[in-house]
Amino acid sequence: MSTEEKRRSTGGKRMSQSGIEPKMEAIQLTEDKPADSSSTTVEGGQPTEKPKKQDKERRDQKSAAKPAKPAKPTQQQSSKKKMDEPTLIGITCSKAEDLSEWYQQVILKGEMLEFTDIPGCYIYQPASYRIWEFIQAFFNDRIRKMKVKNCYFPLFITEANLQREKDHIEGFAAEVAWVTHGGKNKLEKRLAVRPTSETAMYSFYAKKIRSHRDLPLKLNQWNNVVRWEFKHPMPFLRSREFLWQEGHTAHMTEEEAGKEVLEILDHYAAIYEDLLAVPVIKGRKTKEEQFPGAHYTTTLEGFIPSVGRGIQAATSHCLGQHFAKMFDITVEDPNQQIKDGQARDKLHVWQNSWGFTTRSIGVMVLIHGDDKGLITPPRVAEVQVVIIPVGVTAKMADADKQNLYDEVDKLRQTLEDVDVRVECDYREGYNVGYKFNDWEMKGVPLRLEFGPKDAAKGIVTTSRRDQSGSKGEIPVTDIATEVPKLLETIQKDMFQKASDEYAAHRKVVRGWADFVPTLNEKNLVLAPSCTTEECEKQIKKDSAGNVEGQEVDEKAPSMGAKTLCIPFEQPEGIEEGQKCINPKCEEKAVKWVLYGRSY
């Protein structure tokens, strides 16, 4: 145990009720495996030997249906700890060395999330739910200005309705969860738990839209959806139940629909960049990667530097008239010249759908967190500033202590008056070092220390969470202006740091020889492409390792590179005669495409 660990583990009592942190589920951030097939993974509190996928799945389904037994606390084998050994209080591993273990500790100890006895279903603790509320408030404000209205549709969808748009459901059928019983009685017709609400909403749209005057119809839902994923679940990033908003709109023209698709994508980018301080690239998905039910899909692509992988951050689709034809959503052509008694032609409406999920919170954690724990950008931090009274000794007279606390409280009041979210840590029995570590682990962006020496000088000492070790001073008289300014500086610097890192790992590659080596150095690649599906598949295959005649580092991740998007902002023009990056392709390149291994 390092000195730092020892200090943290003995610095005071843990704040959570239990002294032992049960590890319910191993997280894996580096390699895709089926959700239920790992021999070293213990999920749902059930110690297992390597289970057969279906057996495990069936057992999970069964145990979900049974009255819940209290889950046995279990541990991840890799942590090599005894069950009754108390977990060290701070983060005990480094982000660079073991990202999966680091992520698990950071979200658990930062009290963002808890595991449950259902693999892939998580408890969003207040710390993460609050971030979701900030996102909701921001986005609601934006979409209300676009005249989008919030509403709610049922959680269950009949099978007939779900199957109505066959192309759309085909690729997703395996992930649909079904309700088959009501109490002891088998339902006559099973009900799907919504994986998305296109089919749930569009019969209503057909009823609601009677004339062109009913257009545009713009509805949004904040809800939960269930997708029974078989890939390894990862808190926030890939879960079986998650929270999102799904917007569904209907328009008279393709042009109007197209404009909205981009406007929404801009709002999504603003959530990432302006709230979460996470840089994203805007672009269009290729045919191979787009939502099969869509006319076209626009996307935001993020980047996780520690693993060099891309991550889809949000999508905004133009659905075209596809669903309108299936669900018969039509209006009479208002512009048609008609003769007496002639019926007007029916026009199918143009539709969009767009979604933003709680995955964003996981991306934020992975990008900003460090070896001390979470780092929350000030704009989404429930506690933006923690004030810690320092220099309080056992020998200190009660009256002096009270004076100090009164001054701290005045600081709090001054900051609250200018809408800064503040917490004062007056806890007795915890030393200052413990308190510092505790708030750092929880990601509070700014710490103010105030003790008798500071009081004498008329200053508060500042410590920025994003710049470990660097301290500053602010005159007490200036805190109402300087603290909000400093919080904004932290927000800006966090974004800049992440942005520079993303930019440094987006490499322009012109020849295939550099493609895989560049990926292996934890980069995304921008390469000229003909953008055809065949090339995309070929590149995915050939970048997955074991390519004939090509040296691939044995230790390099074997996953192939996907086309993440065709970025709207192209690095440069495509030169005359530039060929597609795929050496097996004879076509000319038409666009620079962003490739990468991805979540």
* Binding stretches for ligand 87F (CB under 6 A): 168-169, 172, 175-176, 195-196, 198, 227, 246, 291, 315, 353-355
Count CB neighbours of 489 within 10 A.
14
Shortest distance, position 353 Cβ to ligand 87F, whole Å: 4
Comparing C-alpha atoms, which of 31, 34, 59 is closest to residue 44?
A: 59
In this structure, are residues 351 and 323 in contact, taking their beta carbons and an 8 Å threshold?
yes
Shortest distance, position 445 Cβ to ligand 87F, whole Å: 31
Shortest distance, position 304 Cβ to ligand 87F, whole Å: 21
Tokens of 169: 């459901």
Shortest distance, position 596 Cβ to ligand 87F, whole Å: 20
Largest CA distance in the chain: 99
Residue found by looking up tokens 């609050």 in the block: 130
Shortest distance, position 204 Cβ to ligand 87F, whole Å: 15
In this structure, are residues 229 and 172 in contact, taking their beta carbons and an 8 Å threshold?
no
The nearer residue to ligand 87F, 106 or 169, going by C-beta atoms, is 169
The nearer residue to ligand 87F, 146 or 176, going by C-beta atoms, is 176
Shortest distance, position 99 Cβ to ligand 87F, whole Å: 26
The nearer residue to ligand 87F, 16 or 163, going by C-beta atoms, is 163
The nearer residue to ligand 87F, 229 or 400, going by C-beta atoms, is 229
Shortest distance, position 258 Cβ to ligand 87F, whole Å: 16
Task: For residues 379 and 137, give the distance between their C-alpha atoms in angstroms, rounded to a whole number.
Answer: 12
Please give the torsion angle defined by the CA atoms of residues 250, 251, 256 and 262, in that order, rounded to the nearest 10 degrees.
Answer: 0
The nearer residue to ligand 87F, 100 or 249, going by C-beta atoms, is 249
> Exposure of 193 by Cβ count < 10 A (0-12 exposed, 13-18 middle, 19+ buried)?
middle
The nearer residue to ligand 87F, 195 or 560, going by C-beta atoms, is 195
In this structure, are residues 230 and 239 in contact, taking their beta carbons and an 8 Å threshold?
no
Give the three-state DSSP class for 223: strand
Shortest distance, position 278 Cβ to ligand 87F, whole Å: 19
The nearer residue to ligand 87F, 291 or 502, going by C-beta atoms, is 291
The nearer residue to ligand 87F, 172 or 230, going by C-beta atoms, is 172
Shortest distance, position 168 Cβ to ligand 87F, whole Å: 6
The nearer residue to ligand 87F, 223 or 550, going by C-beta atoms, is 223
The nearer residue to ligand 87F, 291 or 450, going by C-beta atoms, is 291
Shortest distance, position 337 Cβ to ligand 87F, whole Å: 37
Residue found by looking up tokens 């007496």 in the block: 340
The nearer residue to ligand 87F, 196 or 518, going by C-beta atoms, is 196
Paired with 234 in beta bridges are 238
Paired with 307 in beta bridges are none
DSSP-assigned states of every residue in 448-510: EEE-HHHHHHTEEEEEETTSTT-EEEEEGGGHHHHHHHHHHHHHHHHHHHHHHHHHHTEEE--
Shortest distance, position 355 Cβ to ligand 87F, whole Å: 3
Task: For residues 71 and 78, give the distance between their C-alpha atoms in angstroms, rounded to a whole number.
Answer: 20
The nearer residue to ligand 87F, 171 or 182, going by C-beta atoms, is 171
Residue nearest to ligand 87F (CB): 355
Cβ-based neighbours of 448, under 8 Å, separated by 6 or more: 385, 386, 387, 388, 411, 460, 461, 462, 463, 474, 479, 483
In this structure, are residues 325 and 237 in contact, taking their beta carbons and an 8 Å threshold?
no
Prior bond to 216 cis, omega within 30? yes
Cβ-based neighbours of 120, under 8 Å, separated by 6 or more: 35, 229, 233, 238, 239, 240, 241
Among positive and negative, which fits the CA dihedral 37, 42, 45, 48? positive
Tokens of 175: 């992930």
Among positive and negative, which fits the CA dihedral 365, 369, 374, 379? negative
Helix axes 479-504, 359-368, angle to 10 degrees: 90
Shortest distance, position 152 Cβ to ligand 87F, whole Å: 15
Shortest distance, position 343 Cβ to ligand 87F, whole Å: 34
Task: For residues 331 and 264, give the distance between their C-alpha atoms in angstroms, rounded to a whole number.
Answer: 25
The nearer residue to ligand 87F, 167 or 501, going by C-beta atoms, is 167
